Structure 1
Amino acid sequence: MECFSNTNIYPFRVFPPKQLSEIEFAPITIFYGGNGSGKSTLLNAIAEKLRLERSAMFNKTPYVEDYLACCKYEMVHGANRAPSGSRIITSDDVFHFLLDVRAINEGVDFRRDEVFEEYAAWTRIKMQPLRSMDDYDRFSTQLEAKRSSMGEYTMRRIPKELDGKSNGESAFSYFTQKIVERALYLLDEPENSLSATLQKELARFIEDSARFYKCQFVISTHSPFLLAMKDAVIYDLDRVPVTVRPWTELANVRAYYDFFKEHAEKF
């Protein structure tokens, strides 16, 4: 992918000072850098240029279309578009999913309280005889309440909660649900909401998806667990010029290393 600029407005001004004009993509390509380094700008430019699916709305600045018109890309094997199902997954997508899960579960909680009260009312009332078919629904519901425990009665009347997972577990499941075989995925800081353990799990999932299921990933991250993925090609956007570097030389990873080395005797 090549980007050219002769102006000083966003997003044209972001990459020329970094001397970044071309990127060669691997099965797993990572954009590393601090806040303001252009990781998300680059990821969104690729997503828009390739017309990838996205869930959260993308707020385009006035000159994005002009910028994209200056960007070029080449695909291997004669392809002229990204594989079906390819998409960008942003932190907003995951955040909105977590809010949806919470809303559903809060709705379940509200309905559960209603059913508890309904059960208590039916079990307090003396059974009335079935006089006509008009009484059938009332009669069968009350009979069921009398014959069931509160838990059994309730479980038949409310939807299940979405697994009762933590935010991190729900976020991890979002990635595993959205990522299928033979597609391109752009992931914008996927470590957000994930514990260290789940970041390691996500790294393994991405490695396996690239190796065994022919997926390709372009990821913006500063998570050491994701940066350490096998055979990942890492572009350090904090360097001028932008260069490909091993994960062990990156400033964020070195900071972790130095910290733990300093406190090694405490482990």
Structure 2
Amino acid sequence: MFLKKLTMLQEKVPSDSEYPFSIPAIHHLKELTFQKEVTFFVGENGTGKSTLLEAIADKCEFNTAGGGRQNTYEVDQSESVLGDYIRLSWLPKVTTGFFLRAESFYHFASHIDEVEEDLNMYINYGGRSLHQQSHGESFLSLFKYRFSGKGIYLLDEPEAALSPTRQLTFLKIIHDLTKTKKAQFIIASHSPILLGYPDADIFSFDGDHIAKVNYVDTEHYQLTKYFLQNREKLLAELFK
């Protein structure tokens, strides 16, 4: 573990009515402590989990459009709106890692083509262009080959391109990296498969405050379980 604590700089907050401070979970945030190698942010869309993850990436000096410190390219509306208002506490600080934004991964893949076209090697991406791989394959190639050694990995909805089987493969990648005590993951996710990673901390952004929750108490787990056990009944109620 490297990142120990996130602190909101209350004295710099311009107005509670302005976005993103109007989001309840962000409005009430004072500090967040990280105690596990793997931490999940969960919550309904619009509850601030991606906004906070993006702010962490900004303070790590990762490209907030997606990538690491070395990846320089721009995507419209990818700037962090919260980065200037938080402080990160490290022990020790690391400068390596990656920020994945599923929604802008296409632009990252195009950026890699531009910087790698002369070398034509793609060593960190499975040996070929990410655009020449399926969406799921390109995500796994990134996880397998770019994620290595000491670093902090910030992932916004990595399940977006992964089938259930490949989500299990990704869990194995997380396990192999974190067992060396050289990698830390903070992941915003809706996937009940990923959230089931053993001994991870899960922070829910639903409600007025960010709160730690157990896996079986997440809406993702409970709704998925109910659907699998009561599919016909649930759909009948939904469609009537």
Normalised by the size of structure 1, how large is the TM-score? 0.65
Unpaired segments of 5 or more residues in structure 1?
103-159
Cα distance change of structure 1 residues 211 and 83 upon mapping to structure 2, 3 Å threshold: same
Counterpart position of 1:10: 19
Describe how 1:28-47 pairs up with structure 2 within 5 A.
Answer: 28-47=38-57
Asked if residue 21 in structure 1 is aligned to residue 30 in structure 2, the reply is yes
Aligned to 1:84: 95
**Distance 1:221-1:96 versus aligned 2 partners, 3 A rule:** same
Structure with the bigger RCO (C-alpha within 8 Å, sep 6+) is 1
Match of 2:191 among 223, 245, 254: 223
Between the two proteins, the alignment pairs up a number of residues equal to 201
Q: Is the 8 A contact 1:31 1:235 kept in 2?
A: yes
1:70-109 to structure 2, matched below 5 A, reads 70-76=85-91, 79=92, 82-96=93-107
CA RMSD of aligned residues (A): 3.0
Quick check: which has more Rg, 1 or 2?
A: 1
**One-letter code aligned to 1:239:** G
Question: Secondary structure of 1:40's match?
Answer: helix
The alpha carbon displacement at 1:100 in A equals 8.2
Q: Distance in 1 between matches of 2:26 and 2:61?
A: 27
Structure 1 residue 90: Cα displacement: 1.1
**Structure (1/2) with the larger helix percentage:** 1
Alpha-carbon displacement from aligned partner over 1:137-171 (angstroms, at most 9, x marks no partner): xxxxxxxxxxxxxxxxxxxxxxx976975331222
Structure 2: gaps spanning 5 or more residues: 1-5, 114-126, 233-240
Aligned counterparts, 1:48-127, within 5 A: 48-53=58-63, 54=67, 55=71, 57=74, 59=77, 64=81, 67-76=82-91, 79=92, 82-96=93-107
Determine helix, strand or coil for the equivalent of 1:74: strand
**Residue by residue, what CA displacement relative to the aligned partner does 1:176-208 show, whole Å, maximum 9, x if unpaired?**
222111101100100011111101111121122
TM-score, reference length from structure 2? 0.72
Change beyond 3 A, Cα 1:6–1:176: same
Q: Deviations over 1:104-142 (max 9, x none)?
A: xxxxxxxxxxxxxxxxxxxxxxxxxxxxxxxxxxxxxxx
Cα 1:31–1:85, aligned 2, differ >3 Å: closer, same or farther? same
Identity of aligned residues (%): 28
